[in-house]
Amino acid sequence: MKQILSAADVVAAGRRIAGRVVRTPVVCPEALSERAGARVWLKLENFQLTGAFKFRGALNCVLKLVSEPRPDGLRLITASSGNHALGMSLAGRLCGVPVTVVMPEGAPRVKQEKARAYGAEVVLHGEVYDDAQAHAARLAEATGAVYVPSFNHPDIMAGQGTIGLELMRDLPDLDAVVFPIGGGGLAAGLAVVFRTLLPRVRLVGVQAEGAAAMRASLEAGRPVELDAVRTIADGIAVRRPGELNFAVVKDLLDEVVTVSDEEIRQAMGALVKDASVVGEPAGAAAPAALLAGRVPVRPGATVAAVISGGNVDAHLLAEVLAG
């Protein structure tokens, strides 16, 4: 069986997108570290262009697509609960390619508006990501557009894995990396690059209790689909992980843990109060797991928590801070 993704693919992606993405900083808030019982470094992908890590994978994929000659031109379509839509919208604008994004009807308005501002056509369809994805695939077939998956694609995974390359350079003494999991694009990219280049690092994925499709799949030994997803964390509200993502991560992650929506809310508040960092619900999943004690770490360990995005509705953030 052909290897789906290698560390060399991630390194190549890093070179391809260099200078076009933000090399996001890491910070170690003292108050947050004290509460977690470890030296917690936040990888601030909320500072990425589009406000989320998804731009890395989207740009890597689009740059590869535009390098291939197409006599009829290139049009792209994708599905996303929000942040991949933003990544594809901006990548398309930068590369001069028209993009259509299909988003669930309940996608945060801030993400819908940003996608339109980047020049994408936004189509709203269905209740959750999986509904939007099925509709986008049908539109691609009907129009001849190229469908770009949100996570189930090697070039998407490779782009997301560049976060790991940056973490290794900034924090060579890392003991663990904690990160959110939806469909598994970020998890796959990080897993391959760390297991190849820094295998001693513990890798822990975090899912919302109401959308733990990857955890259920790992327990079943195959990708499974949840009947429904219910969580505040729209960015990781996926009923079924990607087939390719699952194939990559099933033997490489140390653990997948879950957090409640209330723990996510508490972590969002802690990020603002203790670190002056705005994280959307999915972006707060990793620190939520650390603060809730879901990830056992030895005192003084060096742990990186990926803040995957900061595109949060202002009303929700105000509600969280008021509570």
Please state, rounded to an integer, the average pLDDT across all residues of the chain: 95
In this structure, what token pair is assigned to residue 21?
């993405």
Read off the pLDDT of residues 164-215 as tens digits, 9 standing for 90 and up.
999 999 999 999 999 999 999 999 999 999 999 999 999 999 999 999 999 9
> Can you give the pLDDT at residue 82?
87
pLDDT tens per residue across span 84-137? 999 999 999 999 999 999 999 988 888 999 999 999 999 999 998 889 999 999
As separate numbers, helices (DSSP H) first and strands (DSSP E) second, the chain gives 13, 10
Whether the per-residue pLDDT at 71 is higher than 70: the answer is no
Query: Which domains does the chain show, CATH number per domain?
Result: 7-52+153-322 (3.40.50.1100), 54-147 (3.40.50.1100)
Q: Give residues with Cβ within 8 angstroms of 23, minimum separation 6.
A: 166
Helix 154-170 to helix 54-66 angle (10° resolution) is 130
**Token pair 């009303």: residue:** 315
Q: Which of 80, 81, 89, 308 is catalytic?
A: 308
Catalytic residue flag (residue 260) = no
Q: Is the dihedral of CA 223, 228, 231, 234 positive or negative?
A: positive
Whether 78 has a pLDDT exceeding 60, the answer reads yes
Question: Model confidence over 261-277: pLDDT tens digits?
Answer: 999 999 999 999 999 99
pTM score of the predicted model: 0.95
Report the percent of the chain where pLDDT is more than 70: 99
80 is catalytic: no
- The percent of residues in the chain predicted with pLDDT above 90, rounded, is 90
Catalytic residue among 43, 54, 111, 114: 54
List the beta bridge partners of residue 40.
303
Over residues 155-159, the mean pLDDT reads 98
Given a cut of 50, whether residue 1 has pLDDT beyond it is no
Count of alpha carbons within 13 angstroms of residue 65, beta-carbon side:
27
